[in-house]
Amino acid sequence: MDLHALPFDPDTMLAGLREWVECESPTFDAAAVNRMMDLASRALVLAGARIERIAGRMGFGDCVRASFPHATPNVPGILVMGHLDTVHPIGTQLPFRREGNRAWGPGILDMKGGNYLSLEAIRQLQRAGQRTRLPVTVLFTSDEEVGSPSTRDLIEAEASRHKYVLVPEPARPDGGVVTGRYAIARFNLEATGRPSHAGASLSAGRSAIREMARKLIEIEDMTTESCTFSVGVIHGGQWVNCVTTSCTGEALSMAKRQEDLDRGVAAMLALRASSNEVQFRVTRGVTRPVWEPDTKGLSLYETAREIASELGYTITSQSSGGGSDGNFTGAVGIATLDGLGVAGAGAHTLDEHIQVDSLAYRGKLIAGLLATLN
């Protein structure tokens, strides 16, 4: 089919995307995420999908599975998979705005823009009377930004029923797509001290915050070229005139190879308190397995590369840090192509923005994949 003839209009798409972006949906606010799921569900129903709402668990929001009618519904098809939770809290200082070819907003790049253009790709094919060769299912999840602790089983089960997985996470900085991702482990940190009155008897106390500060430096100094360590969350103290008894934190480790991550995990779990007067404990959190490029994924990339070439641009293939739910599907051997979403920069920051024109040309790329894969 002539992908150039599909009337993707970036301005019209941005107007629709704006409603999604302004429906703020931080991961830890299940009600907010569910409002976003309501909005996406309505759009999917209007596009002809049959909706299944999957109740959230572990305190997280719901998920939505949408299946589109197909002449052969029982054959393994194409799963378009994305998350609708974001890292931005409600009321973040990142209101939607547009300046020229850039548009800003919470989650606009990671990854509401990619999810929206995927839906638009499905709608454009429908309007053109173009049937996909395989059934298409969309799965929107609610907790990717915290490692998908409540949805990994759902993701892997759903993906196992499909031949291909397309993940519209943001495009790489050079416009490339992702055929592999690094392994990631999360850790929970807990320091315990001894309380005292900070003014009257400071020396009698042992500060949990001080112990956490020591361990923070120790953890981040473990970073090497093969395995990185960072502490991103710290909670401690309630009264400034009290020596703090408890301090908690969260750390992240990332490696290109699973064996490097395994060594990093062992090093983290071996950490001990700096003295007998305080305690320090590390427990393992959620882990994303390494997803290494394989024949199936690279073949899927070649199809995408040819479609992009027909559209007049070039895409590269690369492994990437910053895990996604593609880690899970790629690691279990399902042909997965990630990084198919919008172009932009500043994900997870107050400069998060997209290149508006990429809504159209990246949308055509996904439309081409949906129409071509068999």
pLDDT band at 373 (very low <50, low <70, confident <90, very high): very high
The torsion angles phi and psi of 69, rounded to 5 degrees, stand at -55, 145
Encoding tokens for residue 240?
Answer: 């400034």
Identify the pLDDT of residue 220. 98
Q: Give residue limits of the domains in the chain.
A: 3-182+290-372, 183-288
Judged by phi (left if over 0) then psi (alpha if -120 to 50, else beta), residue 146 lies in alpha
- What's the average model confidence in pLDDT over 343-361? 98
Mean pLDDT of the chain: 97
CATH label, 183-288, candidates 3.20.20.70, 2.40.50.140, 3.90.1330.10, 3.30.70.360: 3.30.70.360
Is the pLDDT confidence value at 71 over 90? no
Whether pLDDT at 73 is above 90: no
How far apart (Å, rounded) are the C-alpha atoms in residues 24 and 372? 34
For the record, the structure tokens of 349 come out as 């920051």
How sure is the predictor about 170, in pLDDT bands with cuts at 50, 70 and 90?
very high
* Residue 74: predicted pLDDT: 87
User: What is the separation of C-alpha 155 from the centre of its chain, rounded to a whole number of angstroms?
Assistant: 13
Q: Name residue 170's amino acid.
A: P
Among 62, 269, 55, 253, smallest CA distance to 147 is for: 253
Taking the C-alpha atoms of residue 249 and residue 268, their distance in angstroms, rounded to an integer, is 13
Q: Classify burial at 348, counting beta carbons within 10 Å of its beta carbon; exposed 0-12, middle 13-18, buried 19 or more.
A: middle
Tell me the CATH architecture of domain 3-182+290-372.
3-Layer(aba) Sandwich (3.40)
CB-facing half-sphere around the CA of 297: CA atoms within 13 A: 27
Burial of 374 from C-beta contacts in 10 A (0-12 / 13-18 / 19+): exposed
Number of helical H runs and strand E runs in the chain: 9, 16
Helix H or strand E encompassing 11: helix 10-22
Q: What are phi and psi of 206, to 5 degrees?
A: -135, 115
Q: Please tell me the pTM assigned to this model.
A: 0.92
Does 111 sit behind a cis peptide bond, omega within 30 degrees of 0 on the bond before it? yes
